[in-house]
Structure 1
Amino acid sequence: MIKNSRFFLFYSIIFLLFLSSIFFISGCSSSHNGKIESKTISGVKLQTVSETDLPKYLEATGTVKAKIISVITSKVMGTITSINVKDGDMVSQGQVLLTIYDQDASERVRQAEKNLDAAKLNMSLSNATYMRYKALYDEKALSQQEMDQITTEKELAQTNYERAKAALEEAKIMRSFYTVTSPISGIVSSKKVDVGTTAMPGMPLLDVENTSSFELDANVDSKYSQNLKIGSIVKVRIDSLPEIEGKISEIVPSVDPMSRSFVVKVDLGPGNFRSGMYGKAYFNIGTKRAITIPESAIVRKGGLIGVYVVDDKGLVNYRMVKLGEKYGEKVEVLSGLSNGEKIIVEGTENAFDGAIVKGS
């Protein structure tokens, strides 16, 4: 009996020690958690968010083009014998770009030159004859009828000479069409033919662009036709380039019946542009009420974007937000914040979920 009592006492003491250790550990854990939950932070700046009037922009996509593009076409039929340029080459006005086989044209020039020489000789002889007969007529040794005939022959020779001269000029012009030159200074943006290609009248040969000025041709929904004016400033964003400002230079009045849109040309001026670049234009079409916050308030955690919101008791809560346009050093908040809420705008590196802002 005494032996059993001793065992019972021993196990009771062990059990009490075990319970004490559990309560001790639990108490330490509660004390530790209490410290985290009640930890205060300082060195942060709060700001109450509020709605303000912001510019309202209409976004429209478009394509960059050189303001002056010369599509060079063939005026004659013939085989291309040489091409002196390639895509991307800079050319000057009057520079020879390519040649077309011109044997027939050159032969016509040679024949026209012969005809002109013959007409010139005939005119010279007619003039000399006229002068001789004029002297006889003045001495009353020649009748009026004979003088009229000589005068007519002289005038006919003069007319034939003028015709031969004009025919030679025309033949030379036709021959010049077989040597294709650049009408402007710029860059060869598209070579459409190769040596040996048969050129036809009206057939495109090359495109040459003047690279001194560019524009963005943007497609705008027809319902905004009354919101845009020539001369208005436009924000333009082009892939891989900084944001720039353009100006509306032309509004095409016709509307595409398929897309129900019209083209607005935005003058970009000179720059590191290339025709065909994709761009977006942002047209100011009024104002809107929206919330903006400083960029310093934005906290990025991995793929999340949010801000630290502080309630009336100073408790910090990380909240995800959706951002919109940038306005200088501020960013529009599309969702996630309400008018009148407080956020941390400075010292976000000191903040964390569940913290208490000291002195808030």
Structure 2
Amino acid sequence: MVEVRAAAPEYRTVSGTVIPFREVTLSAQTAGRVVELTGAEGDRFEQDELLARISDDRLLAQRRAAMSEMRVAEAAINEARMQYGREMISPQSRSLGQMPGMGMPSMFDQMFTRPMGQFMGFGDPSLDRHTDLYSRYVGVDQAQARWEQARARVEELDAAIRETRSEAPFDGLLMRKHVEPGDTVQPGHPLVTFGYVDYLRIEAQVPVRLVAAFSEGDVVPARLDAGGTVQARVSRIFPMADPRRHTVTVQFDLPRGVSGGPGMHVSVGLPSADSAPGHALIPQSALIPGGALPRVAVVDGEGQSRIRAVRLGAVRDGEVVVTSGLEPGEYVLLQGERQRPSHAPATPGASGYHHPPATPGLAPGAQM
């Protein structure tokens, strides 16, 4: 009779790559020629420091033209406001200069001719005044709209000029340069790759069958090519699997200050599905041959043996993993010990458990 032991964790090794904790690729936002590229690969930069710059001569010329349009629009606003104010104080519809003649004839026209024409249906001075005021107001509004349009153009060009400068988004390391000074780029062309390397991660493609054996937050061993084995924490398990390779992308956080850097190879030990917590380990000789399901003879606390069906996992050097049906700490009978009656207790001796001889005339129990 042997005691059921807990199955020791069994690890499968997968290959991974060290990556920065954060990594961004800065791309060109405007067309132009690269005029400045500060630093070399491996140099450290603080946040907002200049990394690359594209020529902005064309944008500066366009901005000067837009500023001129803005000044013209400001002058048009002032003129339109002045015309509107004059219409408010001295309506054009009541101006003496609108009627022919001068002196007494013009006054006669204002006093008698215009009222008589209005009475006969040939004009409406109040409607004329309202129309003139509205026309002057529209002139002010249109001039204001042209000024706002010119200002928006200036702001657009200012944003484009700022985008000619690629600055560090955070403290980190210049990892790769994709261009050199003098290169001509178009929008979307990568300039530099920048990463935060104070903390490092591992990214590995893990077979789907191994993913179920661990979860986020678990700690697993990892061995870097730079030397030494460290403990890595599972930080992220991607929800989708690669349909062609049948693997899942998993990221692991490395401790701060580990040797090595981004791009290095690393081996990660992952528990297999057969070594999950709670699995038991028994000798293969404890299995009862025959039958549709694997069975073992389990000895209870009173020394009685009972048949129990179990579910098996992997086989390791003459021992087999039991995934369900047994708990560590229980006792099972081996192949040569399953001939005694089921009700005959097993008594522990000085060197282990011994079985008492069968009593003559006692009906034998079920054969194990």
Give the TM bin, normalised by the shorter chain: 0.5 to 0.7
Identify the residue that residue 245 of structure 1 maps to in structure 2.
231
What's 2:182 paired with?
Answer: 196
- Shift of the alpha carbon at 1:88? 0.9
> Which range moved further: 261-270 or 213-222?
261-270
Letter in 1 for 2:142: L
Superposed, 1:1-360 pairs within 5 Å as: 53-136=7-90, 143-268=129-254, 270-272=256-258, 273-285=260-272, 286=276, 289=281
Q: CA deviation at 1:125?
A: 2.7
Cα distance change on mapping 1:277 and 1:165 into 2, 3 Å: same
Unaligned runs of 5+ in 2: 96-127, 283-315, 318-368
Alpha-carbon distance in 2 for matches of 1:234, 1:165: 59
Q: What's the offset of the Cα at 1:168?
A: 0.4
2:73–2:146 contact (8 Å) kept in structure 1: yes
What is the SS of the residue equivalent to 2:180?
coil
Deviation, 1:246, is 2.2
Q: 2:280, 2:46 → 1: CA distance?
A: 50
Cα distance change on mapping 1:52 and 1:252 into 2, 3 Å: closer
Distance 2:87 2:171 in 1: 58
> By how many angstroms is 1:53 displaced?
3.8
- Between the aligned residues of both structures, percent identity stands at 21
Q: Deviations over 1:94-152 (max 9, x none)?
A: 22212222221111111111111211222233233333333446xx9881111000100
Structure 1 spans left out of the alignment, 5+ residues: 1-49, 291-333, 336-360
- Residues 157-216 of structure 1 show CA distances to partners (whole Å, capped at 9, x for unaligned) of 111111100000111112222222222321100012111111122111110001233211
TM-aligned CA deviation for residue 80 of structure 1? 1.3
Letter in 1 for 2:234: I
For 1:59 and 1:124, the matched residues in 2 are separated by 78
Deviations 1:315-349 (A, max 9, x none): xxxxxxxxxxxxxxxxxxx98xxxxxxxxxxxxxx
TM-fit CA distance, 1:276: 0.5
1:265 counterpart SS class: strand
Contact 1:81-1:196 at 8 Å conserved across structures: yes
Asked if the contact 1:62/1:280 (under 8 Å) is kept, the reply is yes
CA RMSD between the two structures:
2.8
Name the structure where strand makes up a greater proportion of residues: 1
How many residue pairs are counted as aligned between the two chains? 244
Relative to structure 1, is the Cα distance of residues 233 and 114 closer, same or farther in structure 2, using a 3 angstrom cutoff?
same
Would you say the 8 A contact 2:34–2:180 is kept in 1? yes
Instruction: Name which of structure 1's ranges 167-176 and 244-253 shifts more when overlaid on structure 2.
Output: 244-253
Deviations 1:270-306 (A, max 9, x none): 334411111122223426759xxxxxxxxxxxxxxxx
CA contact (8 A) 1:246 1:268 kept: yes
Q: Compared with structure 1, are the counterparts of its residues 288 and 89 closer, same or farther at alpha carbon in structure 2 (3 Å cutoff)?
A: farther
Contact 1:211 1:270 in 2 (8 A): no
Distance, in Å, in 2 between the alignment partners of 1:283 and 1:111 is: 64
CA distance in 1, matches of 2:26, 2:238: 25
Q: Secondary structure at the match of 2:16?
A: strand
Q: Per-residue deviation at 1:56?
A: 2.2
TM-score, reference length from structure 1: 0.61
State whether residues 5 and 280 of structure 2, in contact with CA within 8 Å, keep that contact through their aligned partners in structure 1. Answer: no
TM-score, scaled to structure 2: 0.60
Instruction: Assess if the C-alpha contact under 8 Å between 2:29 and 2:187 holds in 1.
Output: yes
What are the Cα deviations for residues 65-87 of structure 1, in whole angstroms up to 9, with x where unaligned? 11211101112222212211210
